[in-house]
Amino acid sequence: MWQPSRRPDTAPESPCALTDSAAPSPTDGAGPPARLTARMSQLTERLQTLLRQSLKLTCELTCVEHADTLPCGYDPALRANLIISYVLKRWHHDARSGFYKNPSEHADAQLRLLLQ
């Protein structure tokens, strides 16, 4: 069973906390190293490519067997981008919350909506 890593003792940060003047800027050296940023970009691009290829193959197989099951205008590239955006949002949200909430909370329902 999932357990939070720590319980925050203070109120959560405001949504504008990253825009405050105390927040590190990319030019002051306090942000992530350039190599990490490049590797994360490469990771997300590869994941999106793999997901797009999988969705395209699934679309082709489904169109052959069940032509009426896919929505009109189904685009595997757009769907892959939407899913990657969702994953990045979840990573960011979980990291900012200190992993206090269960990362898989509501994940089943959300993924069902993304994949229909």
Residue 29 pLDDT: 64
Average pLDDT in the 15-23 region? 45
Cα four-point dihedral sign 41, 108, 55, 74: negative
Q: Would the pTM count as exceeding 0.75? A: no
By CB atoms closer than 10 A (0-12, 13-18, 19+), residue 80 is buried
Residue 103 pLDDT: 75
The better pLDDT of the pair 107, 103 is held by 107
Q: What are 56-101's pLDDT values in tens digits?
A: 888 888 776 666 676 767 788 998 999 999 888 888 888 888 888 7
